[in-house]
Each structure stands twice: as C-alpha cells, then as structure tokens.
Amino acid sequence: MTIAIAFGDLVKSYGKFNAVDHLSAEVQQGRITGFLGPNGAGKSTTLRCLVGLADPSSGSAEIFGKKYRDLDNPLSRVGTVLDSRGFHGALSGKANLKVVAAAAGIPDARVDEVLQMVELTEAADRKMKKYSLGMKQRLALAGAILGDPEVLILDEPANGLDPAGIAWLRKFLRSLASGGRTILVSSHQLAEMQNTVDDVLIINKGRLIAEGPKEQVMGGDTLEEAFLKLTGGALS
Ligand SMILES: Nc1ncnc2c1ncn2[C@@H]1O[C@H](COP(=O)(O)OP(=O)(O)OP(=O)(O)O)[C@@H](O)[C@H]1O
Ligand SMILES: [Mg+2]
C-alpha cells in the first residue's frame, strides 16, 4: 500500500498548550480515512498544518512525501474544504467557482461539470448567500474537486447536513475514492462516519488514540463505543 499523507511527531502548540501533541499517523492512498475525535481534539489544527495554513511547532505533516507548499501543482493534486474557505455571497455558485477556476487555469467547462457532480446545476445562477447550508457545503466540495485532485482533505463536510445530505455525501465520497483518490475527512460525529470510511484515525486532546481499518479499530463495537473504551469514557 502507498502512503499518501504522513504525520511525523507533529506538534502544534499555542503557548504552553499542545493542540496537536506528538501525532504520528499515516493515510493510505485510494481509501477514505475518517479523522475523528471530539470537539477541540485538534482535527482542524492538524489539517491546517497539513495544507500550510498553520506552521507546525515541530514535526512534520506531508502529502506524497512533501510539504503541501512544495508540491508541484498543489491545486490539481490536493483539494481542500476547510472552514476558512471564502466564497462571495453576492456572487452565484457558478460565478464563485469560475473565480477559483480562473485563478488556477482551469477551463470554465469544468465548472459546469463539477456543478453537476454536486447536483447544483439548477441552482448554479442563484446568489450563494441564498443557498441552504447543505448547498453551501456542496459548493465547497465542487470547489475542492475543480482541479480533479488525487487527494481530498475535508474538514467536517457533514456539519449541518440532514440525513439525506449525509447519505448523499457518503455516495459522493465513495464514488471519488473508487476512482483511486485518497480522502481524509474529519468529523466529531462518529456514528455518522461509521458507514462512510474505510480507515480511521482517532485523536483526543491532540493525541492519536487509534489508527487502522475501521473494523479492526471497532472490534465488533460501534465507533462510538470503541472511542469511549479507548478514552475511558472521558469527554475532553
Ligand atoms: N489559533 C488558536 N489559538 C489558540 N488556541 C487554539 C487556536 N486554534 C485552536 N486552538 C485550540 O486548540 C484545540 C484544538 O482545536 P481544533 O479546532 O483543532 O479542534 P477540532 O478537533 O477541530 O474541534 P471541532 O470538532 O470543534 O472542530 C482547542 O482547544 C482550541 O481551542
Ligand atoms: Mg474543527
């Protein structure tokens, strides 16, 4: 198996507090890996270090053996949805994607293609600020796949989605992964991710507590039960 993403003794501290605390873990290529842990566990901080939005205090976070910013063509190799992503509310969904596409040298025809993939063709010309939360999440996903990247890094894409939205997301991620893509997707909702992912990385208080194929980590329990056992039931 090929390693797509590797964290090597990664530390990100704020003052004396380690938001990410000596995290070493690997993400296998071509699989959906759930990056799971409760609120405040350090998921977003880790992903921000991975894509160069935050500088590690020590250790490493690499994609295909390189820092994100050292990759050739990072936009076509790695797609991201992180909470800080900025779309303009006054522009339509389509216009927003065209801005991103133009900046990355991606043809407009691809914008129509990704709008269709996230089922926003009908709403493409409506102002983004009028979109529902689910539609905004789907637009962000469309932006992430514009460059047809090999790796997708998604921070809480299921946040705020209703059951139909979560089922849609699951199918969408599965279809991307079946084309050989690597997906690292964070969530604090363990039950919702259980059916979506192949592998899990579970962290708590910045530290790795479990890593591997989900069945192996669950050992016959649900992901939530496994998490509670691994952490002694303590909430952070
Ligand atoms: N810029 C910052 N300055 C200080 N502390 C921070 C900063 N960013 C994050 N933290 C702290 O680091 C810890 C981890 O936060 P992080 O956002 O990475 O968690 P998370 O796992 O993404 O949580 P959630 O599920 O709520 O999104 C938290 O205690 C948070 O308060
Ligand atoms: Mg977060």
Whether 44 lines ligand 1, by a CB cut-off of 6 Å, is yes
For residue 144, give every residue at least 6 positions away whose Cβ sits within 8 Å of its Cβ, in sequence order, or none: 79, 80, 81, 152, 154
**236 has pLDDT over 60:** no
Quote the strand ranges of the chain, DSSP E.
3-14, 17-28, 32-36, 58-63, 78-81, 151-155, 182-187, 199-204, 207-213
Whether 59 lines ligand 1, by a CB cut-off of 6 Å, is no
- Strand, coil or helix: 102: helix
Compute the radius of gyration of the chain from its Cα atoms. Answer: 18
Query: Taking the model in full, what pTM does it have?
Result: 0.94
Average pLDDT in the chain: 93
Q: What is the pLDDT of residues 71-96, one digit of tens each?
A: 988 878 999 999 756 789 999 999 99
Backbone angles phi, psi at 102, to 5 degrees: -60, -40
Q: Match 């090999």 to its residue by tokens.
A: 150
Q: How far is the CA of 186 from the centre of ligand 2 (A)?
A: 8
Q: What is the pLDDT of residues 4-14, one digit of tens each?
A: 999 999 999 99
User: In the 3-class helix/strand/coil scheme, how is 169-211 assigned residue by residue?
Assistant: HHHHHHHHHHCCCEEEEEECCHHHHCCCCCEEEEEECCEEEEE
201 and 34 in contact (C-beta within 8 Å)?
yes
Domain ranges of the chain: 3-84+143-231
Can you tell me the distance from the alpha carbon of 38 to that of 187, in angstroms, rounded to the nearest whole number? 8
CATH architecture assignment, domain 3-84+143-231: 3-Layer(aba) Sandwich (3.40)
214 and 223 in contact (C-beta within 8 Å)?
yes
For residue 23, give every residue at least 6 positions away whose Cβ sits within 8 Å of its Cβ, in sequence order, or none: 7, 9, 10, 11, 42, 46, 59, 203, 206, 207, 208
**Average pLDDT of span 28-46:** 96
Q: How far is the CA of 84 from the centre of ligand 1 (A)?
A: 13
Q: What is the DSSP letter of 157?
A: T
